[in-house]
Amino acid sequence: MKHSAALCTTPSRLIPYNGAVTRSVKVGTMDRRPRVLMLSKACIVGIYQRKLEEIARLGIELLTLVPPSWKDERGETRLERVYTSGYRLEVLPMAFNGSFHLHFYPHLGDWMHSFRPDIVHIDEEPYNLAAWQALFLAQRVGAKSLFFTWQNIHRTYPPPFAWGERWLLKRVDYALAGTASAAAVWHEKGYTGSMAVIPQFGVDPALFAPASATEERGEPFVIGYIGRLVEEKGIHLLLEAAARLTGEWRLRLVGSGPMRESLMQQAERLGIASRVEWIEWVTSTEMPGQYHQLDALVIPSLTRPNWKEQFGRVIIEAMASGVPVIGSDSGAIPDIIGPAGIIVPEGDVAALSTALTRLREDVALRHRLISAGRERVLNRFTHQQVAAATVQVYQEMLSG
């Protein structure tokens, strides 16, 4: 990887993301639109594709390659084609689907040679086989490269993953980190190249918007959780906290995962099963309607030795939708919520129950947080802002 003297003598080389919108972006001096090939399993989610349209609108010839589906503890998420204007969205078969470290794309080289990208945007962590494959092929066609990371815990891996990670960090041209804490991890691991802190995706404030007056809810107070049903997400603590509440309330849990049965049994033991509604994971385009059924969203995540909350996308979706958020102080949650919500110590059931009671009873507080949350998203977390910041990185890579 080649850097100028200025890059080498500035160890962090960190460009913070502040949500500012770039009005016009000129990329390089070439007499055609720059070609970017993005490899992204995350972009199988339909609402995430709005960022891709915005990138293309800023003068990029964009080819995004996605697998037909991705498998995890929730099951299999299949490709949604929702926002596909202005760029190409192509399906690429994946080997070892569901393995974060070992998945790769047998035919990726064919696309590299036919498209001839100027930049390969590797929407993968640097410790997996797909990232190494994409970087190797990018070098073969003479393209510059960048990777994206959410990894906010300094983890070490056994060979060959440690070897592959070091190889990539020495050869990639740029890095994007979802949060400042993620950026810090890779500096600790020895990455000395250029890096920008930019969220992976934003939200569409027209799609995720507060309910209209005719949709406003009455009683009872509805508490929501949206996400994976796994131990580190702390849903069992939310059940305990809800069980301490008095008066009328309901709890909506949207998602799937291995803890579903044990959580249902816990609700029975706590005597609140009749107040809990379980909703299987819904498509991304159905999510705005889910938020309109809530008076509060709770993200009670717990830090574990190998994981802490990396961003919490549902936080910005809820705030854009006019739903106040209560979050634990795990990982990036306090930075994302900022002053627009309520933060409680992770694992503290009493504090969580008190926060829920306060939010239910204090109408003025609820309205204040609704307004502050929407404003925070509009100022920092829209697809337009994320796309503009990403294209600025492309500009720096091509003009360097």
pLDDT digits (tens, 9 = 90+) for 105-122: 999 999 999 999 999 999
Q: Does the structure show a pLDDT above 70 at 16? A: no
Confidence of residue 17 (pLDDT cuts 50, 70, 90): low
More confidently predicted of 181 and 93: 93
Strands 88-91 and 174-177: unpaired
Please state the φ and ψ torsions of residue 61, each to the nearest 5 degrees.
-85, 100
For residue 5, the model assigns a pLDDT of 28
Tokens of 63: 């080819």
For residue 6, the model assigns a pLDDT of 29
CA atoms of 143 and 278, how far apart (whole Å): 47
Mean pLDDT value of segment 79-85: 94
Tokens of 342: 């309520």
Q: Does the structure show a pLDDT above 90 at 217? A: no
Q: Does the structure show a pLDDT above 80 at 30? A: no
The sign of the torsion formed by the CA atoms of 188, 192, 197, 198 equals negative
Confidence of residue 296 (pLDDT cuts 50, 70, 90): very high
Give the max Cα distance, the chain: 68
C-alpha distances in Å from residue 295, one per residue of 224, 340, 374: 8, 15, 14
Q: Hey, what domains does the chain have and what are their CATH numbers? A: 7-202+382-399 (3.40.50.2000), 213-380 (3.40.50.2000)
C-alpha distances in Å from residue 386, one per residue of 52, 96, 289, 377: 10, 30, 24, 12
The pLDDT tens digits for 335-364 are 999 999 999 999 999 999 999 999 999 999
Whether the model clears a pTM of 0.75, i.e. scores above it, the answer is yes
Mean pLDDT of the chain: 89
CA atoms of 314 and 138, how far apart (whole Å): 33
* Percentage of the chain exceeding pLDDT 70: 91
For residue 297, the model assigns a pLDDT of 97
Confidence of residue 7 (pLDDT cuts 50, 70, 90): very low
More confidently predicted of 176 and 14: 176
* Percentage of the chain exceeding pLDDT 90: 76
Of the ranges 1-15, 110-124, 208-222, the best mean pLDDT one: 110-124
More confidently predicted of 9 and 125: 125
Q: Does the structure show a pLDDT above 50 at 258? A: yes
Confidence of residue 74 (pLDDT cuts 50, 70, 90): confident
Q: Does the structure show a pLDDT above 60 at 332? A: yes
**Residues facing 252 on adjacent strands:** 224, 277
More confidently predicted of 31 and 63: 63
Q: Are 396 and 193 in contact (CB under 8 A)?
A: no
For residue 211, the model assigns a pLDDT of 87
DSSP E strands in the chain: the ranges are 14-15, 35-39, 61-66, 69-72, 75-78, 88-91, 119-122, 144-149, 174-177, 194-197, 221-226, 249-254, 276-279, 296-299, 325-328, 342-344
The pLDDT tens digits for 134-148 are 999 999 999 999 999
CA atoms within 13 A on the CB side of 181: 17
CA atoms of 178 and 330, how far apart (whole Å): 15
**Residues facing 14 on adjacent strands:** 195
Q: Does the structure show a pLDDT above 90 at 282? A: no
Please state the φ and ψ torsions of residue 325, each to the nearest 5 degrees.
-120, 135
Q: Does the structure show a pLDDT above 50 at 2? A: no
Strands 144-149 and 221-226: unpaired
The region that residue 198 occupies, defined by phi over 0 for left and psi between -120 and 50 for alpha, beta otherwise, is beta
For residue 8, the model assigns a pLDDT of 30
Q: Does the structure show a pLDDT above 60 at 272? A: yes
Q: Does the structure show a pLDDT above 50 at 21? A: no
Q: Does the structure show a pLDDT above 50 at 60? A: yes
